[in-house]
Amino acid sequence: MEIYQLKTFVAVAEEAHLTRAAERLNTSQPAVSAHIKALEESLGTPLFHRTPKGMVLTDEGLLLKESARTILEATRAMELQAQKLRRELTGTLRIGLNSEPSGLKAAPFATWLKTRHPGVHLSYHQSISGKILLDLKAGVIDGGFFYGSCPHGEIAGLFLKEIDLVVAGPAPWADKIKGASWQAIAALPWVGFPPHCPYNEALTPLLRKDDTRPGAAMLSDNESTITTMVQSGLGLSIMLREDALKAEERDTLAVWDGENLTLPLSFGYVKKREKEPVIQAALEGIAEVFRKNG
């Protein structure tokens, strides 16, 4: 029985799917299957039922999953203790980015980390706020940026700054948008967002004044996709103020001159990992680069 087999076992148990577990572990599906088969042979008991809908834990697997987690936590604690004894920070730091790297100070932080802790390997993963929070819970990443409030009690957030947002639409709609009321804006077609997208939270101040909710011609939670769809003429949407104003200068967007919107930008991490040296380093570095670079 090997530690990597236990990691695979826990990942498959939590994802209930071989492909998703392979993506989480950054390996192939055949490798995941091989790990599970080898572990089952080593333990002498089946851990999963293979079904058309995915992997379902057997009764034995359900009990052994908790033992596997305990072993992995003990292994992690031993690694951290050894790290402290070496007095040199090493390991991997995986960070989720919910927006363009430049706005999240990705390059300054990478420089800071390389200078302060050259033994730490940094990897960035482009994603969206909601997925980043779920990946933190699942242990896929160590930290990540997110907009808005966090609905998960086990995740803490280091507040960084308020992000300015605007409502913007296709450039040819400028006459409809400029000077329009919220009711008129809400009545136009929108490129909307799924329920989990924090942009819904940004609309709260407008909805408090008037509960007129915009209809959606389509949904997206990706900034680049939203911008492309709006520029294509599909409808209005919420965008980062700085990006929208630059696009308006190029005559590719029109920005509503109504109420400005904001969302908090935070750096999230799992609370129970807060004292780990690599998380402490991440929090220190992220706070410093945002303080210095605005």
Residues 175 and 254 in one domain: yes
pLDDT digits (tens, 9 = 90+) for 159-196: 999 999 999 999 999 999 999 999 899 999 999 888 88
Give 87's pLDDT tier (boundaries 50, 70, 90): low
Residues 209 and 132 in one domain: no
Element (H, E) at 127: none
Give 222's pLDDT tier (boundaries 50, 70, 90): confident
Residues 210 and 257 in one domain: yes
Here the CATH number for the domain that contains residue 132 is 3.40.190.10
Residues 143 and 170 in one domain: no
The sign of the dihedral angle between the CA atoms of 9, 14, 19, 24 is negative
Residue 85 pLDDT more than 70? Answer: no
Nearby residues of 242 by Cβ (< 8 Å), 6 or more positions away: 103, 164
Residues 285 and 231 in one domain: no
Structure tokens at 80: 């951290």
Q: If you average pLDDT over every residue of the chain, what do you get?
A: 91
Domain that holds residue 215: 162-263
Residues 130 and 213 in one domain: no
Tell me how many domains the chain contains: 3
Structure tokens at 223: 């900034």
Residues 178 and 255 in one domain: yes
Residues 146 and 235 in one domain: no
- In degrees and rounded to multiples of 5, residue 153 shows phi and psi of -65, -25
Of all residues in the chain, what percent carry a pLDDT higher than 90?
A: 66
Give 216's pLDDT tier (boundaries 50, 70, 90): confident
Indicate whether 104 belongs to any domain. Answer: yes
Residue 217 pLDDT more than 90? Answer: no
| pTM for this prediction | 0.73
Q: What's the CA gap between 57 and 48, in Å, rounded?
A: 4
Q: What's the CA gap between 113 and 107, in Å, rounded?
A: 10
Indicate whether 157 belongs to any domain. Answer: no
